[in-house]
Amino acid sequence: AAMSAETEVTYHAALRAVLEAGQAALASGATAVEAVTLAVGMLEDCPLFNAGHGAVFTHAETHELDAAVMDGATRQAGAVACVTTLRSPVRAARAVMEHSEHVLFVGEGAEAFGRAQGLEFVDPSYFSTDARREQLHRALATNAAPMLDHDGAAAVAAGNAPLAEDRKFGTVGAVALDAHGHIAAATSTGGMTNKQAGRVGDSPLIGAGTYADDRTAAVSCTGSGEMFIRVAAAYDVCARMAYAGQTLAQAAEHVVMESLMEIDGRGGLIAVDREGNVSLPFNTEGMYRGVAYVGDTPQTAIFR
């Protein structure tokens, strides 16, 4: 069943379904935190994306998942890293944010916390797909460095052109502006194909792959995580707006096109501010992305 769903559900249809769900939630009064958790949770469940079911494999042919969520209204944040049996890393991240005194739990400690919270657990094989296993085997055969999988053919104006099979599926993220004027960001990933056991990327690190502050922006990143960590990518977008007087677009484009490129960092980000401005820059050939509006009001949901 998983395989036929995998071949039948197109990436575009999946993305559209998630956008519509986020839009409907926001239209009926969901908070930005609720909308980004819903969207990222749906993307985790879909085998097409490198998060949850369909996550990439580590060098050891296992899965180690990372996720984070941040609430721009309160600047509360939660994250998990290197988890292997929590079904939804983003829901676990939200539980950390809402039900613990801490921000980041890793590995077995994260799973113990999840168990105490009554979260759903799965056998690690739940995350595996044949496509990802083949991707790892190709990487091992060519002795490749840990692989990104989100960059490919140029995205067309209407949205997202087909990317080469190997490069089609990436980390997932969402940012949203709700009816109350609050923003939030969430990110979830299996990391990079062929990564070393114990390696943590930018996604669960607050300020690197994920950040939100109502005064500036909500940001979720995808790409070569090491470089996003080194430039504090998501926080730097917000800092540029706060302290350098840049607009959202100026700040986001500077981080992606200048700061990251200076150290050969590849990828992109999605960002929204409380006025409903949206910026989706990437320095790769393409990045799947979508934006949904709720009427004329500046409520926005963006998912990748």
The residues, ordered by sequence, that sit 6+ positions from 299 with a Cβ below 8 Å of its Cβ are 26, 27, 176, 177, 178, 179, 276, 293
CB of 93 to ligand SD4, least distance (A): 14
Sheet holding 290-294, edge to edge: 104-106, 76-83, 65-71, 183-189, 172-177, 297-303, 290-294
Kindly tell me which residue out of 23, 222, 279, 299 binds ligand SD4, with binding defined by CB under 6 A. 222
| 45 labeled part of a ligand binding site | no
148 vs 237 by CB, closer to ligand SD4: 148
Length of the chain: 304
The CA distances from residue 25 to 76, 144, 176, 293, in Å, are 21, 41, 11, 12
Nearer to ligand SD4, 152 or 267 (CB): 267
> One symbol per residue from 137 to 156: x for binding ligand SD4 (CB under 6 A), - otherwise; what is it?
-----------xxx------
Q: Is 171 a catalytic residue?
A: yes
**CA atoms of 84 and 108, how far apart (whole Å):** 9
| Choice among 171, 193, 216, 300 that is catalytic | 171
The token duo for 159 is 């949205």
**Quick one: which segment of 117-125, 185-193, 211-219, 288-296 binds ligand SD4 (CB under 6 A)?**
185-193
Q: Per rule CB under 6 A, is residue 47 in the interface with ligand SD4?
A: no
In the chain, DSSP assigns E strands to 65-71, 76-83, 104-106, 172-177, 183-189, 210-212, 217-223, 267-273, 278-279, 290-294, 297-303
Q: Which of 84, 189, 194, 259 binds ligand SD4 (CB under 6 A)?
A: 189
Q: How far apart are CA 42 and CA 21, in angstroms?
A: 9
Which of the stretches 19-27, 109-117, 153-161, 201-209 binds ligand SD4 when contact is defined by CB under 6 A? 201-209
Of 47, 52, 114, 191, the one binding ligand SD4 by CB under 6 A: 191
Q: Please identify which residue in 23, 88, 160, 171 interacts with ligand SD4, judged by CB under 6 A.
A: 171
Q: Does 50 bind ligand SD4 (CB under 6 A)?
A: yes
CB neighbour list of residue 254: distance below 8 Å, 6 or more residues apart: 240, 246
The residues of the shown chain that bind ligand SD4, judged by CB under 6 A, are 50, 148-150, 170-171, 189, 191-192, 201-203, 209, 222-223, 225, 267
Residues serving a catalytic function are 171
Residue ranges for the binding site for substrate? 199-202, 222-225
